[in-house]
Structure 1
């Protein structure tokens, strides 16, 4: 199991690094498009479509890395007001809910992507893009995130900071 989680962590880190490059590329594209327009040249017709796809990819590809590194926003005030046993139960409930949601949404994205691939569908904008490539970041993001939530559920890590009251009951 450790090897699977290590592989998932490495892949998640690589996907997050790819997104950093894509966002930098998007900045260059937007600056280039604006400069071309302001200098009186023909604008880059594909710039808006590429930027939209980059935004889609940047929403889903780093998702598992954010789960692993606890880089998203969550509120602990309710959890902190509970007794230790209730905290642990709530944590497990949160982890299980996140796993189920990620698997469900990842399954929908996967079946949609497979259908798009099977039917040969394309997203048609300023250029044609295979529609399955639209679903790919969703599939990767949701399924890898489910693995990261599973790490928490199995007790390999915790999403929450351990406080002294939690340690007493261990």
Structure 2
């Protein structure tokens, strides 16, 4: 099977966006590694030394947010986001292309709306000084900031996909 087709950047701004996205994806991987290491440490600490940590559970939940929302734009850029193609695969290429690009526009608008809503919530958390309520409190905005970034960056990629001029190609053929 061929590697998935990646979105071709139309210019310098898109190249910068792609570089930021790739960096975020690597950070997402680092967060995932930290989650695995902290859980392993917690298991060893708890069951072999009878000394459970007070921070591992909080760290995992904090990093999980970053893991998801830093990876999301890269998955969209590489067109490996979740995509159910059964209807498009049965259509002529021109009609499938129009429908797919229309779906990308709708996805971009939905992600923009989510980014707007989440950025307002994050700003409110910052202004009000809201912290998490667990054994390892942290300012909520520091955790939430990844959410509007992920949605905004993903919205930009869906917009780029919608107007890239590429004809529909089934994910099986990519």
- TM-score, scaled to structure 1: 0.88
Q: Distance in 2 between matches of 1:76 and 1:20?
A: 28
Determine if the alignment matches structure 1 residue 149 to structure 2 residue 158. Answer: yes
Cα RMSD between the aligned structures? 2.1
Q: Rate the CA distance shift 1:6–1:37 in 2: closer, same or farther, 3 A.
A: same
SS of match in other structure, 1:105: helix
Determine if the alignment matches structure 1 residue 50 to structure 2 residue 59. Answer: yes
Q: Distance in 1 between matches of 2:145 and 2:94?
A: 39
Q: Does structure 2 retain, via aligned residues, the 8 Å contact 1:99–1:149?
A: yes
Gaps of 5+ in 1: 164-170
Residue 108 (structure 2) aligns with: 99
Residue 12 (structure 2) aligns with: 3
Q: Distance in 1 between matches of 2:81 and 2:132?
A: 31
Residue 24 (structure 1) aligns with: 33
1:12-161 equivalences in 2 (<5 Å):
12-155=21-164, 160-161=169-170
SS of match in other structure, 2:49: coil
SS of match in other structure, 2:19: helix
Tell me by how many angstroms 1:122 deviates.
0.9
Q: Distance in 2 between matches of 1:40 and 1:141?
A: 39
Tell me by how many angstroms 1:29 deviates.
0.8
Q: Distance in 2 between matches of 1:159 and 1:12?
A: 24
Gaps of 5+ in 2: 1-9
> How many pairs are equivalent?
164
- Deviation string, structure 1 residues 35-89 (Cα, Å, up to 9, x no partner): 1112234211110011111112111111000001122231222112112332122
Q: Distance in 2 between matches of 1:101 and 1:158?
A: 23
Q: Distance in 2 between matches of 1:78 and 1:24?
A: 38
SS of match in other structure, 1:34: helix
Q: Distance in 2 between matches of 1:159 and 1:23?
A: 33
Q: Distance in 1 between matches of 2:171 and 2:30?
A: 34
